Each structure stands twice: as C-alpha cells, then as structure tokens.
Structure 1
Amino acid sequence: MTWSPQPNSRMCFVCGLQNPAGLKVRFYEDGKTVVRAEVVIPAVFQGYPGVAHGGVVAALLDEAAGRALMIGAPERFMVTAQLSVRYHHPVPTGQTLLLIACPLRVGSRLARARAELRRLDGTLCAEAEAILVNVPPEI
C-alpha cells in the first residue's frame, strides 16, 4: 500500500510545523479510506508521570478525524461539532504510537469520522467518533 503525505499547517497545535509548543504530527493517507500518523507524545504533555494528558489525546483524535475527511480532498476543511472520546488504556509518553482514522459518512455539510490511538503492539488506548461541519465562511 502506498501512503501519500497530507499537507501540514504552520501553527496548528497538532500538525503545525512551525508551532514551537505543538506536536508537529505528519499525516499520511492511502488515497481511499484511511489516514494514519506515528506520534510520540513528549513528557511535557503528561497528566501523570509517563501518561499523556487526556486533553492532548483528545486533540490528536480530533485532528485525525478531521484529516480523514480530507482524504483525496486536501482543500476540504471542517470543524468539530461533537467529539465523543473513550479512553481504554493509559497513553504512554515518549513512545511511538499509531494514530488511525477513517470517514464514516460524508455529506455536503456534515460528516462523521472515527479515530483511534494505539500502541505499536496493537493495544487500543483511546478511540473517538466525531461529527464535523464545514468551516464557517467567516473563518
């Protein structure tokens, strides 16, 4: 399978390459139904020693869900209207993790996507479903 890089932004907390406080995550798509990224959450984003803060985990899942809707359409920008996160296992800091997302339903105004964060051994740490809407014109 061939993975193509998706474009990054400048200052986004998750994918902004110039954000000094950001995670600088690079997403790749299969061109059809899946977006993925490898991410290492630095210890500065911990909630407990060695465990990523849940808000940072939610941010990663949120970004991945939005990125899933850009597969094959890099100009399609959406914002999250609702995010439902389920945490299964503590998310370790300082370890490579796999972030995967796919679209569930894509409409002209609304879309739904699913995202998950796994350890490299396959353990599901957290998952989310998001409802997204087109970016308002004023943004």
Structure 2
Amino acid sequence: MFQERKTAMTAKRLKQPNSRHCFVCGVENPVGLQLKIYQIEEGVIETTYTAPEHFQGYPGVLHGGIIATLLDEISGRAHMGDPSQPRFMYTGKLEVIYRRNVPIGQPLRIVGKKLENRGRAAQGWAGIYDEKGNLLAEGTTLLFDIPPHLLPLKDLEELGWKVYPD
C-alpha cells in the first residue's frame, strides 16, 4: 500500500526547497535528516524517511525527540506555499500524540496538512505512518509568521534556500 500510494502521487508532487544547514532538510548537514519534501496538493505535503540506528531511543524505536522534530517541521511546511514567496513560520506550541512505537530501519511516510489560517498565526497537523498505513504518531502545531526583517526573502538563495535536484 505504501509503495502504491507513493507511485500514484508522483505525477502531482512538487518538490519544496531545501536549505544547506537545517537539521531536517539541510542538504549539507552531515548529522541532519536531509529530507526531501513534496507538496502533493494545496496545503498537503509529504516525505519519506527511514531512520538510522543512531537516532533510536529504545532498541529498534525512533527517539521521541526526533519524532517531535519530524512532526514539527512537516506540519509547518504545509503552510509554506509558493516556493518563490515562502511563508516561514516558527512554532509557538507543539502537541504530540505517540500512538505506537516508530521503528528505525523501516520506511516511514510523513504527511503534513494546513489546518486553520488566522492572519499571522496558523495551525498545522502532521502524521507519521508505517508501510501498512498505520498512524504511529501525530502532532498539531500553533505557528506564527517570522517577521520579515528577521528573514528577508531576497536573501534566500544566499542562505542556500532553493530546490536542489534529486
């Protein structure tokens, strides 16, 4: 089921930009997750990830902090929108529900969705699924726009924020 869904969505997928050094998406971060994130429809994004052994908490189980990191990033990315005029947000609140152990060494599908949009604030949701489609963990976020003077959009390429080829 996981592989079928991935193939069916390929035609609609629009790759989101990555940065050079972000822990989650940084292409040059040797200790980061280096996720490639795709918009699959307006306000819905997804990525896949297979966690390595060095991110485990208990043997065979992904550490809860890494799970929260994945949910935080992907729920916020659902609000990013147009890559040429991205909406950068920071998390004011993250609520995580750990439903089942998230395994290391097995492919995971992580989906993010826009929820509410309230001016400079928004809510997002993300879920982590196993290959069989079981929801393993989910999180909701309260997000706030980063003030433009703190992250001028004209400097994004200098910062390494762009769509990198696969």
- TM-score between both structures, scaled by the size of structure 2: 0.80
Aligned residue pairs, count: 139
Secondary structure at 2:100's aligned position in 1?
Answer: coil
- Output the amino acid matched with 1:12: C
Distance, in Å, in 2 between the alignment partners of 1:103 and 1:133 is: 13
- Residue from 28, 36, 45 that aligns with 1:26: 36
Secondary structure at 1:52's aligned position in 2?
Answer: coil
- Output the amino acid matched with 1:71: G
Is 1:31–1:72's contact at 8 Å kept on the other side of the alignment?
Answer: no
Q: Percent identity, aligned pairs only?
A: 42
Distance, in Å, in 1 between the alignment partners of 2:99 and 2:106 is: 17
- Residue from 134, 137, 146 that aligns with 1:135: 146
- Output the amino acid matched with 2:64: G
Secondary structure at 1:60's aligned position in 2?
Answer: helix
Distance, in Å, in 2 between the alignment partners of 1:22 and 1:14 is: 6
Secondary structure at 1:47's aligned position in 2?
Answer: coil
- Output the amino acid matched with 2:126: A
Is 1:79–1:133's contact at 8 Å kept on the other side of the alignment?
Answer: yes
- Output the amino acid matched with 2:96: V
What is the correspondence of 1:12-91 to structure 2 with a 5 Å cutoff?
12-72=22-82, 75-91=86-102
Residue 125 in structure 1 maps to residue 136 in structure 2? yes
- TM-score between both structures, scaled by the size of structure 1: 0.95
Distance, in Å, in 2 between the alignment partners of 1:138 and 1:11 is: 17
Q: Which has the higher strand share?
A: 1
2:4 corresponding residue in structure 1: none
Distance, in Å, in 1 between the alignment partners of 2:14 and 2:105 is: 25
CA positional deviation for 1:108:
2.3
Is 1:118–1:125's contact at 8 Å kept on the other side of the alignment?
Answer: yes
Distance, in Å, in 2 between the alignment partners of 1:114 and 1:40 is: 21
Is 1:115–1:129's contact at 8 Å kept on the other side of the alignment?
Answer: yes
Q: Which has the higher helix share?
A: 2
Secondary structure at 1:103's aligned position in 2?
Answer: strand
Residue deviations 1:96-121 (CA, integer Å, cap 9, x gap): 10000100012320000110000010
| Structure 1 residue ranges, 4+ long, deviating more than 6 angstroms after superposition | none
Q: RMSD across aligned C-alpha pairs, in angstroms?
A: 1.3
CA positional deviation for 1:78:
0.2
